[in-house]
Amino acid sequence: MDSEKVIARDNDYVLHTYNRNPIVIEKGHGLHAYGPEGQSYLDFTSGIGVNSLGYCDLNWAEAVSKQAHKLQHTSNLYYTSPCSKLAKRLCRRTGMSKVFFGNSGAEANEGAIKAARKYSFDHYGEGRDQIITLVNSFHGRTIATLTATGQDTFHHYFGPFNEGFLYTPAGDIEALTKLVDKHTCAVMLELVQGEGGVVPLDQEFVQAVRALCDEKDLVLIVDEVQTGVGRTGTFLACEQFNLRPDIVTLAKGLGGGLPIGAVLVSEKVAAGMGPGSHGSTFGGNPVVCAGANVVLERLDESFLAGVREHAAQLRAGLERLPHVKGVTGLGLMLGIQFEDGINAADVLAACRERGLLVLTAKTRLRLLPPLVVTAHDIERALVILDEVLCGLDPVQS
Ligand SMILES: *Cc1c(COP(=O)(O)O)cnc(C)c1O
């Protein structure tokens, strides 16, 4: 079916909750996506940080299809090997004690909120249930995670929203300390605010939050749904902040393209989450876990060193482009801030016309290439971005 028909049919029947790019992607290989009429795109989005090994990595596709032929699902009433293997790998890799598997980032954060409140209830009783999150954060689209998201634009239409969430500006430890009282149970944050514009937190602030959580016995939840699984050049972004969280959530890149979310918890938090405390029909699905196991196997130290090397190359190249005011982010999670008058959405559209797929976050252009990106791919993307930016005159306002 040609692109025009696919788009028309989608527009007729799929709820218009997204503004989509007017292109159809039919297949992909590595960094390259292809359309039905033979269009070819260099993809620096990874499906928003999901396709960590690029499109249809051979080992990943083989592991997934082999598992699909063997056993596609059982329910959590029984054990399967791919699930326990992934759990062991994740715990060993992160130093966390136990993991719960769900199907998305929002669901992982829901699990984290529940586990934090359960810890607080078990140790301090009722009424100590408030969770402090950061202004400009993003934690998901379910009612509780929308509420946790510290952006007013998300707090309309769908109320009543949950009680028990408070917001504080990133970087201001005094403001955070003032919010903590006998009702506070947890602090939840992203180390690099992704949807908020690719804004990393300050090291000192993060250390101060950890110290405050230790002092008041608050659960520190780190949302690594976007930053985790090698995206920032280390397995967890926490490693670069010298941070030991009490709960860390993962999702996007973990399954290499299949839906999965994970809530990793420390021993003290794990203790409260016994039988009946949480559940998911699909969570820990063996096909998805088989794919995630390939991702984890691939992300050894030498692979991550390559991610850091390519990230440095990309960042240096971006900083040299015309109209670029600054580059933010960590590893292969980068935001590009333009001079006044250059609109990131215009740059995105012009890149697409030239066969390069990129993202935006707030006013910035955002790049999340697959972790398998090569020096050659980066050179090509930089050439296209350079052509696009050279052709753009800042709009005088
Ligand atoms: C994408 C994202 C989420 C939501 O993940 P979904 O899989 O869309 O539910 C939550 N937190 C962060 C930091 C994210 O980037």
- 260-308 pLDDT per residue, tens: 999 999 999 999 999 999 999 999 999 999 999 999 999 999 999 999 9
Which backbone phi and psi does 157 adopt, to 5 degrees? 65, -35
Q: Does domain 59-298 have CATH number 3.40.640.10?
A: yes
**Is residue 226 lining ligand 1, measured as CB closer than 6 Å?**
yes
pLDDT (mean) for 185-190 = 98
Best substitution site from 136, 195, 227, 258 to test ligand 1's pocket, by max atoms within 8 Å of Cβ?
195
CA dihedral 340, 342, 345, 348 (to 10 degrees): -140
Tens digit of pLDDT for each residue in 93-132? 999 999 999 999 999 999 999 999 999 999 999 999 999 9
- Spatial distance between the Cα atoms of 223 and 97, rounded to a whole number of angstroms: 17
Stretch(es) of the chain classified as CATH 3.90.1150.10: 3-57+306-370
Instruction: Judge whether residue 314 has pLDDT over 60.
Output: yes
Q: Which atom of ligand 1 is found nearest the CA of 223?
A: 13
Cβ atoms of 347 and 341 within 8 Å: the answer is no
**Closest C-alpha to ligand 1, atom 6:** 105
Residue ranges matching CATH 3.40.640.10 in the chain = 59-298
Ligand 1: residue whose CA is nearest its atom 8: 105
CA-nearest residue, atom 11 of ligand 1 = 139
Q: Does the domain spanning 3-57+306-370 belong to CATH 3.90.1150.10? A: yes
Answer for the pair 188, 167: CB distance below 8 angstroms, yes or no: no
252 annotated active-site: yes
Please indicate whether residue 223 is annotated as part of the active site. Answer: yes
The ligand 1 atom at the shortest distance from the C-alpha of residue 142 is 9
Distance (Å, whole) CA 255 – CA 211: 33
Q: Report helix, strand or coil for 102.
A: strand
Let me know: does 130 contact 216? Beta carbons within 8 Å: no
How does residue 9 score in pLDDT terms, banded at 50, 70 and 90? very high
